[in-house]
Amino acid sequence: MAIARKEVIMLYKTPVYLLNSIGGVIIIPIIMVVSVVTGNESLAPLKNLIEHYPSYIVLAAIGMITILGVLNSIGSTTFSREGKNFWIQRVLPIRVEDQIIGRIISSLLIQILGVISILVSLLFIVKISIANMVIIIVLGLLGSIPMTEIGMIIDIIRPLLVWDNPQKAMKQNLNVLISMGLGVLYGGLLGFTTIKVIDKINILYIYLILGCIFIVSAIGFFLILRKLIKKQFADL
């Protein structure tokens, strides 16, 4: 929790970090709300589709929250943002597992803002049940964990530690683009598979399968991160 608190404080104390992490999380929901409020007719087909197939909007919201897990750039810059102070994290008597979990928690705390924004946006577009809202929150946050870990893997492999402006650690960091590419690929494969089976499998089974995939992925990436961080903390 101390690691998570440190990460969140760092984000909020540095305007560049705050805008890049939170800005990407809430901008899409805001655009959706503005489109509805201004009477954008292009959303009419979407509203009709949602009314006939409510499960589609749940899957879309889960996918959106999951993708935001890598678009917020928190995981993909978590070590780069340490900069010249990175040595402090190497010498503190903190378990590698706690380093990973703490940084994931900080990302999820920002993700909660995205979840709230998306749910509020959906309420402007269509009625959504409490059960579906719970499914969106649980699976969305679960899907955000492997996305954050993908970013962390890239960042620990090639951390950008030498910079004279915080902007370079986040906005001019190639790790962000690499992580986004891998994250979109991961999410795209899941989305493509879901579309292929959505008419063949009960929607509740799809939710269960997605949850299992997110959990297995998170555990797999966690084990990879643990090895990489131990090695990099010793070598860098």
What totals of helices (H) and strands (E) does the chain contain, helices first? 10, 0
Return mean pLDDT, the chain: 86
Who wins on pLDDT, 53 or 212? 212
CA-nearest of 14, 211, 23 to 113 is: 23
Q: What is the pTM of this model?
A: 0.88
The predicted structure's pLDDT at residue 184: 92
The predicted structure's pLDDT at residue 12: 84
- Record the tokens describing residue 199, joined without a space: 């008419």
Band (pLDDT 50/70/90 cuts) for residue 52 is low
- Could you write out the three-class secondary structure of 111-179? HHHHHHHHHHHHHHHCCCCHHHHHHHHHHHHHHHHHHHHHHHHHHHHCCCCCCCCHHHHHCCCHHHHHH
| 8-state DSSP, 81 | G
| Distance (Å, whole) CA 185 – CA 189 | 6
pLDDT tens digit sequence for 140-179: 999 999 999 999 999 999 999 988 888 888 888 899 999 9
CA-nearest of 1, 17, 144 to 77 is: 17
Mean pLDDT value of segment 97-101 = 94
The predicted structure's pLDDT at residue 49: 62
The predicted structure's pLDDT at residue 200: 87
The predicted structure's pLDDT at residue 115: 86
Band (pLDDT 50/70/90 cuts) for residue 43 is low
